[in-house]
Chains A and B, each alone.
Chain A
């Protein structure tokens, strides 16, 4: 069992070293904030047209975002659970926008929102932004996975060693006891 410990150790060290290697940065347009998260609430008017929504980001903050129609409407690129992509904007489909965001809210489906002065420029399926944050989570998973395997294999290995020692001690003790019995039988 102890033979596997070096392999686990090397695998853990390699995976962690590869993750630390290099840095990845994501650039955003100046003045435009990019936020990832899940939809925490949707507000629509009496006609069912989307007015605003709340975004819950990875830090647990709720960001209130309004949408706009007009000449430069909020753009949408959202996928259904089956993977069909719906592309539209607030001016063309304000009612369906609300329905789509509610569907995302129910499914906890993550979205990426580009925000300028509290107004959403676009709401799309989550993109690969915030890579540096993601790497922290990836690092945590690998550290825990390899740490747990290492600890468990070490525990099993130690236990086997202790048991083997017990077996040897017990066998020796039994041999001694049997020898003493034989000697006492020989004595008149």
Chain B
């Protein structure tokens, strides 16, 4: 039995604890925001999943560059596992944003800069994974997928700064280096948002680690099939 201090166990318990704390803070602790009412609580899920989906594409790019430099398969596995998890978080970012926009803006979607760049990020993930799925396995596939991953990461800072670069309907940046004084959050809301972000980041890391384990097993199966084929060929 693995110790609780084992990275996998630690992440599992830390994620579970932080998720419980997040739920308690979101529904029972943080006060209702006066302008938007209860629907503002979507922010505590929308912002963390958006943050994770942007971090994920940067990790895909880092893994891709490391693979291109070292040709070590583990970096390719990291990039592929992160891209798949990033796609899930990216889809949730778009869906939660659309559901928030419907009652607040009166529309599900608008061609606003931040929304459009976020949608592009989603399509980058889809393109990356479709490319990996349909291109024949081998070093060339990994190389070309890595290039898509690196180019895709350019979108992350554009999404982050979009609300400032093209001031449109999306609320201004409230966290990070580009957050202005007008974007500063009330202490309770800011604390809840930070805890929720940490919880979803832990969940993301846990899922990526597990997804890497699946990819490693997939590679093991492929190698075993190759060996089994060779063995049968020698026997036959």
Contact = CB atoms under 8 A, between A and B. Distances in A.
Q: Do A and B make up one complex?
A: yes
Interface of A: 1, 3-4, 7, 11, 14-15, 18-19, 24, 36-38, 40, 56-58, 60, 81-83, 107-110, 125-131, 133-135, 137-138, 140-142, 144-145, 148-149, 152-153, 156, 159-160, 163-164, 166-167, 170-171, 173-174, 177-178, 180-181, 184
Contact of B231 (A11, A24, A137, A177): A177
B88 to A, nearest CB: 5
A19 B88 contact: no
A15 B42 CA distance: 12
The prevalent SS among residues of B at the interface is helix
Contacts of B107: 38, 108
Given A156-B207, A174-B231, A107 B169 contact: yes
Contacts of A173: 228
B157 interface: no
Kindly state the interface size class of chain B when it binds its partner.
35 or more
A181 B217 contact: no
Give the secondary structure class of A's interface: helix
A128 B107 CA distance: 18
B33 to A, nearest CB: 7
A132 to B, nearest CB: 9
B20 A11 contact: yes
A24 B231 CA distance: 70
B217 A163 contact: yes
B91 A128 contact: no
A14 B23 contact: yes
A141 B35 contact: no
A152 B86 CA distance: 12
A108 B220 contact: no
B34 A127 contact: yes
Nearest to B169: A108
B71 interface: no
19 contacts: A18-B27, A18-B28, A57-B106, A58-B102, A81-B167, A83-B182, A126-B104, A127-B34, A130-B37, A138-B38, A140-B99, A141-B96, A145-B49, A149-B203, A159-B214, A167-B224, A170-B228, A174-B227, A184-B235
B221 A167 contact: yes
A25 to B, nearest CB: 12
Nearest to B219: A163
